[in-house]
């Protein structure tokens, strides 16, 4: 398979652009409850635990979708799977925009999670067929960084849109945008360059049966590197989603007294630094000639920032903003973690392997957001501000969790860029 195929570099760039733009929808919906959480809680009288359930519904549904998504990717290809599942995101956004209870809001979030469940894994199946293996981490970083623009839109821009047309109107508009992107993915994002065939396009007799596809998960689960990466995904993505996706906004509201646009501005800084970090860290594996070292560095700095937030009794808003910005920047190590996960699986198991890792990450996000809601709920009644001690306890919990994950990950075998792990 030739990387960057002759005659198709322009087409390859268009494919990347469309897939990155579609991923923005996922990142927006994933993070969208953050800046408007105090408004939803006030309107519907939701407790901190209920906010955790509401935000976590997206992640649990996303995670539960990963096993069928992995099978669909390997059997039917990324283009059909991605564009088809986006129909659920459209329906979920419309339902969320018109819901008036925690139950229906949560069902809307569930549909969003299902609809967005392939917007990262699908492109990560396509990129290695259009570009060289050594560029995978860089492309992963570009994809996640571009998608982070969606998370940026879910900060200050969403706060202002909510003032202008209401948060319900914002989600109606998101549904319309998602419909347009689903059509573009179907029309433009091909699984392989011209003249090449993906595994799912082989003659029926050469393809895996459904039973063989299911058995492939056994080979994935037997990979000795899987537990180390799985825990890192669980805690790493879980910590980032707990802060940027939900609890940073209530923290800024309860402890620092910020209104919606002001909270959105701080979250905008964090999300913007995250986008820059994805581009920066996505190339560090090549510079270090290692995937393990930059991951340990980035996650280690994030853990240190959480420790500082938990230790400071009354940090200034400027200090908090700086710490959030640095944490957002260091979250870029996630691009290399994805590349490390891609490298431990043989090509015919990639869809199932990286989908399982993504399932771990999204499950972690849902679980840790819920635990965070329980922690905050021990200090505050529904509809009332939580004291600083509640958030300091939360930061300490996230720091300890990340420390455990890093100690476990440090035992994994490194795989240099451009190299493939031995199978078996």
Backbone angles phi, psi at 379, to 5 degrees: -110, -15
Among 54-63, 124-133, 191-200, 211-220, name the one with the lowest average pLDDT: 191-200
Determine the pLDDT at residue 71. 79
Q: Do residues 55 and 246 lie in contact, with contact meaning Cβ atoms separated by under 8 Å?
A: yes
CB under 8 Å to 94, separation ≥6 — which residues? 108, 171, 172, 175
- Residue 196 confidence (pLDDT) above 70: no
pLDDT of the residue at 319? 95
Q: Is the pLDDT of residue 364 over 60?
A: yes
The pLDDT of 328-347, averaged and rounded, is 84
Which pair of structure tokens corresponds to residue 105? 């809001």
pTM of the model as a whole: 0.74
- How many whole angstroms separate alpha carbon 248 and alpha carbon 321? 10
pLDDT band per the 50, 70, 90 thresholds, residue 69 = confident
Which among 323, 271, 299 is positioned nearest to 146, based on CA atoms? Answer: 271
Query: Is pLDDT of 327 > 90?
Result: yes
pLDDT tens column, 341-360: 888 887 777 767 877 888 88
**For residues 89 and 116, is the Cβ–Cβ distance under 8 A?**
yes
User: How many CA atoms lie within 13 Å of 14's alpha carbon, on the beta-carbon side?
Assistant: 12
Domain extents in the chain:
10-193+220-409
Total Cβ atoms within 10 A of residue 123: 25
**Mean pLDDT score of the chain, rounded to an integer?**
84
What pLDDT was estimated at residue 240? 87
Is there a contact between 249 and 38 (Cβ–Cβ < 8 Å)?
yes
pLDDT at 422: 43
CA distance linking residue 411 with residue 414, whole number of Å: 9
Q: Answer whether residue 361 shows pLDDT above 80.
A: yes
DSSP 99-131: --SHHHHHHHHHHHHHHTTTTTHHHHHHHHHHS
How far, in Å, CA of 11 to CA of 133, rounded?
A: 18
- 21-66 pLDDT, tens per residue? 999 999 899 888 877 887 888 888 888 888 888 888 998 899 888 8
How far apart CA 142 and CA 17 sit, in angstroms, is: 10
CATH fit for domain 10-193+220-409, picks 1.25.50.10, 1.20.1250.20, 3.90.550.10, 3.50.50.60: 1.20.1250.20
| pLDDT for res 308 | 96
């Amino acid at each position: 398979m030739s990387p960057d195929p002759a005659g198709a570099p322009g087409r390859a760039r268009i494919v990347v652009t469309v897939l990155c733009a579609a991923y923005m929808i996922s990142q927006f919906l994933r993070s969208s409850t953050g800046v408007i959480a105090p408004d939803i809680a006030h309107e519907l009288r939701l407790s901190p635990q209920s906010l955790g359930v509401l935000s976590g519904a997206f992640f649990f549904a996303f995670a539960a979708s990963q096993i069928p998504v992995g099978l669909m990717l390997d059997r039917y290809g990324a283009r059909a799977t991605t564009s088809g599942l986006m129909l659920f995101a459209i329906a979920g956004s419309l339902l969320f925009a018109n819901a008036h209870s925690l139950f229906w809001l949560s069902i809307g979030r569930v549909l969003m999670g299902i609809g967005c469940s392939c917007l990262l894994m699908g492109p990560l199946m396509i990129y290695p067929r259009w570009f060289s293996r050594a560029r995978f981490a860089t492309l992963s970083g570009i994809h996640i960084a571009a998608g982070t623009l969606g998370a940026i839109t879910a900060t200050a821009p969403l706060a202002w849109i909510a003032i202008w047309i209401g948060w319900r109107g914002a989600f109606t508009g998101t549904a319309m945008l998602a419909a347009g992107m689903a059509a573009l993915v179907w029309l433009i994002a091909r699984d392989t360059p011209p003249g090449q065939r993906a595994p799912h396009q082989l003659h029926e007799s050469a393809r895996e049966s459904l039973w063989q596809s299911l058995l492939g998960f056994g080979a994935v689960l037997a990979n000795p590197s899987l537990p180390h990466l799985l825990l890192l995904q669980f805690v790493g993505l879980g910590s980032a989603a707990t802060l940027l996706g939900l609890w940073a906004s209530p923290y800024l509201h309860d402890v620092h007294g910020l209104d919606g646009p002001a909270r959105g501005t701080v979250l905008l800084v964090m999300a913007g630094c995250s986008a820059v970090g994805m581009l920066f860290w996505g190339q560090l594996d090549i510079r270090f000639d290692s995937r393990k070292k930059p991951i340990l560095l980035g996650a280690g700095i994030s853990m240190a920032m959480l420790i500082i937030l938990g230790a400071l009794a009354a940090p200034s808003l400027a200090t908090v903003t700086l710490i959030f910005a640095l944490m957002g920047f260091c979250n870029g190590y996630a691009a290399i973690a994805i590349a490390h996960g891609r490298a431990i699986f043989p090509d015919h198991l990639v869809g199932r392997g990286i989908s399982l890792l993504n399932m771990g990450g999204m499950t972690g996000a849902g679980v840790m957001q819920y635990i965070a809601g329980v922690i905050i709920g021990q200090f505050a009644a529904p509809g009332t501000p939580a004291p600083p001690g509640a958030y300091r306890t939360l930061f300490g919990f996230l720091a300890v969790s990340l420390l455990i994950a890093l100690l476990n990950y440090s035992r994994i075998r490194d795989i240099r860029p451009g190299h493939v792990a031995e199978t078996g």
